[in-house]
Protein backbone atom coordinates (compact mmCIF):
# COMPACT_ATOMS: atom_id res chain seq x y z
CA UNK A 1 0.00 0.00 0.00
CA UNK A 2 1.49 3.38 -0.99
CA UNK A 3 1.86 6.00 1.74
CA UNK A 4 -0.99 8.43 2.28
CA UNK A 5 -0.16 12.06 1.60
CA UNK A 6 -0.73 14.02 4.81
CA UNK A 7 -1.38 17.75 4.45
CA UNK A 8 -2.04 20.50 6.97
CA UNK A 9 -5.18 22.61 6.64
CA UNK A 10 -4.43 26.31 6.15
CA UNK A 11 -6.83 29.17 6.92
CA UNK A 12 -7.41 32.07 4.51
CA UNK A 13 -5.09 34.26 6.62
CA UNK A 14 -2.25 31.74 6.21
CA UNK A 15 -2.41 30.33 9.74
CA UNK A 16 -2.13 26.57 10.17
CA UNK A 17 -4.17 25.54 13.23
CA UNK A 18 -2.56 22.14 13.77
CA UNK A 19 1.01 23.42 13.45
CA UNK A 20 0.22 26.31 15.82
CA UNK A 21 -1.14 23.78 18.34
CA UNK A 22 1.89 21.49 18.00
CA UNK A 23 4.14 24.47 18.83
CA UNK A 24 2.48 24.69 22.27
CA UNK A 25 3.08 21.07 23.31
CA UNK A 26 5.65 19.72 25.74
CA UNK A 27 8.53 17.89 24.02
CA UNK A 28 7.35 14.33 24.79
CA UNK A 29 3.78 15.03 23.69
CA UNK A 30 5.06 16.63 20.49
CA UNK A 31 7.20 13.57 19.75
CA UNK A 32 4.24 11.22 20.26
CA UNK A 33 2.02 13.38 18.04
CA UNK A 34 4.63 13.33 15.28
CA UNK A 35 4.79 9.53 15.46
CA UNK A 36 1.02 9.36 15.18
CA UNK A 37 1.09 11.61 12.08
CA UNK A 38 3.75 9.34 10.56
CA UNK A 39 1.52 6.31 11.26
CA UNK A 40 -1.35 8.06 9.45
CA UNK A 41 0.98 8.59 6.50
CA UNK A 42 1.99 4.91 6.55
CA UNK A 43 -1.46 3.37 7.03
CA UNK A 44 -4.01 5.97 5.89
CA UNK A 45 -7.53 4.51 5.94
CA UNK A 46 -6.21 1.36 7.65
CA UNK A 47 -5.18 3.16 10.86
CA UNK A 48 -7.40 1.98 13.74
CA UNK A 49 -7.85 2.21 17.50
CA UNK A 50 -6.03 2.85 19.72
CA UNK A 51 -4.10 5.15 17.35
CA UNK A 52 -7.07 6.63 15.48
CA UNK A 53 -10.84 6.55 15.57
CA UNK A 54 -13.82 7.63 13.46
CA UNK A 55 -15.86 10.40 15.12
CA UNK A 56 -18.67 11.27 12.68
CA UNK A 57 -19.49 12.69 9.25
CA UNK A 58 -16.09 11.86 7.76
CA UNK A 59 -14.08 13.28 10.67
CA UNK A 60 -11.45 11.13 12.40
CA UNK A 61 -9.11 11.65 15.32
CA UNK A 62 -5.48 10.74 15.87
CA UNK A 63 -5.22 9.69 19.51
CA UNK A 64 -2.27 10.33 21.82
CA UNK A 65 -2.24 9.89 25.58
CA UNK A 66 0.53 11.00 27.89
CA UNK A 67 0.49 11.31 31.67
CA UNK A 68 -3.28 11.37 31.85
CA UNK A 69 -3.66 14.01 29.13
CA UNK A 70 -5.50 13.13 25.93
CA UNK A 71 -4.25 14.86 22.79
CA UNK A 72 -6.47 14.66 19.71
CA UNK A 73 -5.70 15.71 16.15
CA UNK A 74 -8.79 15.89 13.95
CA UNK A 75 -8.53 15.01 10.28
CA UNK A 76 -10.48 13.99 7.21
CA UNK A 77 -9.71 12.29 3.94
CA UNK A 78 -9.76 14.13 0.64
CA UNK A 79 -10.76 11.31 -1.69
CA UNK A 80 -7.97 8.76 -1.90
CA UNK A 81 -5.44 11.51 -2.39
CA UNK A 82 -4.70 12.83 1.10
CA UNK A 83 -5.45 12.96 4.79
CA UNK A 84 -5.97 16.57 5.87
CA UNK A 85 -5.08 17.51 9.46
CA UNK A 86 -7.66 20.16 10.40
CA UNK A 87 -6.82 21.10 14.00
CA UNK A 88 -6.23 19.61 17.43
CA UNK A 89 -7.18 19.82 21.08
CA UNK A 90 -6.46 18.51 24.53
CA UNK A 91 -9.46 16.84 26.12
CA UNK A 92 -10.68 15.04 29.21
CA UNK A 93 -13.61 13.06 27.82
CA UNK A 94 -15.27 12.87 24.42
CA UNK A 95 -14.30 15.30 21.69
CA UNK A 96 -16.80 18.18 22.04
CA UNK A 97 -19.34 18.37 19.19
CA UNK A 98 -18.27 21.97 18.45
CA UNK A 99 -14.74 20.73 17.68
CA UNK A 100 -16.10 18.17 15.21
CA UNK A 101 -18.29 20.91 13.69
CA UNK A 102 -15.20 23.10 13.30
CA UNK A 103 -13.42 20.25 11.48
CA UNK A 104 -16.49 19.81 9.24
CA UNK A 105 -16.41 23.52 8.35
CA UNK A 106 -12.73 23.22 7.45
CA UNK A 107 -13.47 20.09 5.42
CA UNK A 108 -16.09 21.98 3.40
CA UNK A 109 -13.69 24.89 2.80
CA UNK A 110 -10.91 22.50 1.81
CA UNK A 111 -13.11 20.57 -0.61
CA UNK A 112 -14.25 23.84 -2.23
CA UNK A 113 -10.65 25.03 -2.79
CA UNK A 114 -7.97 22.46 -1.86
CA UNK A 115 -5.08 24.53 -3.17
CA UNK A 116 -6.02 27.59 -1.09
CA UNK A 117 -6.39 25.54 2.08
CA UNK A 118 -3.27 23.37 1.79
CA UNK A 119 -0.25 24.50 3.78
CA UNK A 120 2.87 24.77 1.65
CA UNK A 121 6.22 25.12 3.38
CA UNK A 122 8.11 28.19 2.27
Task: Specify the pLDDT at position 122.
Answer: 61
Q: Report yes or no on 37 lying in a domain.
A: yes
Question: Looking at residues 13-23, what average pLDDT do you find?
Answer: 97
Query: Residue 69 forms beta bridges with which residues?
Result: 66
Q: Report yes or no on 120 lying in a domain.
A: no
Q: Which domain holds residue 45?
A: 5-112
* CATH assignment of the domain containing 16: 3.30.2310.20
Question: Looking at residues 13-32, what average pLDDT do you find?
Answer: 97
Sheet with 52-56, strands from edge to edge, namely: 5-8, 82-91, 69-78, 59-66, 52-56
Residue 91 in this model has a pLDDT that exceeds 90: no
**Stated pTM of the model:** 0.94
Phi, psi of 13 (to 5 degrees): -80, 0
Q: Evaluate whether 46 touches 1 at the Cβ level (below 8 Å).
A: yes
- Measured in residues, the chain has a length of 122
Q: Report yes or no on 119 lying in a domain.
A: no
Amino acid sequence: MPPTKVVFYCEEDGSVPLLDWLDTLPTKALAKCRVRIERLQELGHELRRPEADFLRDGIYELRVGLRGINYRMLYFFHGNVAAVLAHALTKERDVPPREIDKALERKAKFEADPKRHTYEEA
